[in-house]
Amino acid sequence: MNPRRASIVAVGAAVSLALSFIATRIEGPDFVGGLERDAIAVRDAAGGRGVVLTFRDRYGWITRHPILSGGLALDDATRTRVAAAVAEVPGIGGITWAGQDTASPRLRCQDDVEAILASRSIRFTEASAQIDPASVRLLDEVAQALRPCVGSIIAVTGHTDSGGIPEANVALSRARAEAVRWALIGRGIPADGLRATGVGSKRPIEGLDPHDPANRRIEFSVIASAPVKPTPIDTPGPS
């Protein structure tokens, strides 16, 4: 390919990715708000007015995987009918009842990712959130291992050692987690299921000196499980 044309294509891809990010941030709440209105309508039609629908996960993020609670006065058949009706709303990715342990049993993909990262770490350019090119293949492996968990909520958490300013460490760890999140999105993991956060040096590896560079790491946790339904928030529109 002509170098100039390749450069134009690369710039166009970057702009497209940025616009997609902005659209998700802006349109996401409206999209989920529409799901909530539709879900309330079908809940009421199914006789489940006592059932509460929550479209935020335990971390406060909006989600298309609602948590159902309440409705204890309803009989089992009605509760089942309400849950099925809500799950069938176009765009909803799956439902769970409050109190249901969605993280147990432990999902296989969690073990697979931890095994991959047991002897290798996702590396970054010194004091930046730019992923080291040497970690590209490792990210490919991580994405492949996470693919069976698509439909779950996958937390990407950044950590640092205790050197430097605590506030700066939190910001850097968050930026690195966000960089990994976008790398996974680029490898086919739906954006809706990925959460990025950074905790700086607050959680050193047990038994390790907080200043040890080995504390600089990215961890993955599967924190909820729900069946997948592709929706506009996951699927790009026609090109």
pLDDT in tens, 95-107: 777 765 443 445 6
User: What's the pLDDT at 224?
Assistant: 54
Q: How far is Cα of residue 124 from the mean position of the Cα atoms in its chain?
A: 21
Phi–psi pair at 196, nearest 5 degrees:
-110, 135
- Per-residue pLDDT at 10 exceeds 60: no
Helix or strand (DSSP H, E) at 222: strand 217-224
- Per-residue pLDDT at 93 exceeds 80: no
- In 57-207, which ranges are E strands? 62-70, 96-97, 153-159, 194-198
- Per-residue pLDDT at 66 exceeds 70: yes
Residue 91 is classified by DSSP as T
- CA dihedral sign, ordered 68, 72, 78, 80: positive
Q: What is the mean pLDDT of residues 7-36?
A: 55
Higher-scoring residue by pLDDT: 24, 218? 218
- Per-residue pLDDT at 17 exceeds 70: no
Q: What CATH class does 108-224 carry?
A: alpha beta
Higher-scoring residue by pLDDT: 209, 111? 209
Asked if 113 contacts 142 with a C-beta cutoff of 8 angstroms, the reply is: yes
**In the chain, which residues fall in CATH 3.30.1330.60?**
108-224
Q: What is the pLDDT of residues 156-199, one digit of tens each?
A: 999 999 998 999 999 999 999 999 999 999 999 999 889 899 99
Instruction: Compute how many other C-beta atoms are within 10 angstroms of the C-beta atom of residue 201.
Output: 19
pTM listed for this prediction: 0.53
Residue 125 is classified by DSSP as S
Higher-scoring residue by pLDDT: 117, 57? 117
Which residues contact residue 67 at a Cβ distance below 8 angstroms, ignoring those fewer than 6 apart? 53, 54, 57, 95, 96, 97, 98
- Per-residue pLDDT at 142 exceeds 90: yes
CA distance 192 to 185: 9
Phi–psi pair at 91, nearest 5 degrees:
105, -25
* Average pLDDT of the residues of the chain: 79
User: What's the pLDDT at 180?
Assistant: 96
Integer Rg of the chain from CA: 20
- Per-residue pLDDT at 31 exceeds 70: yes
CA distance 4 to 10: 10
User: What's the pLDDT at 24?
Assistant: 42
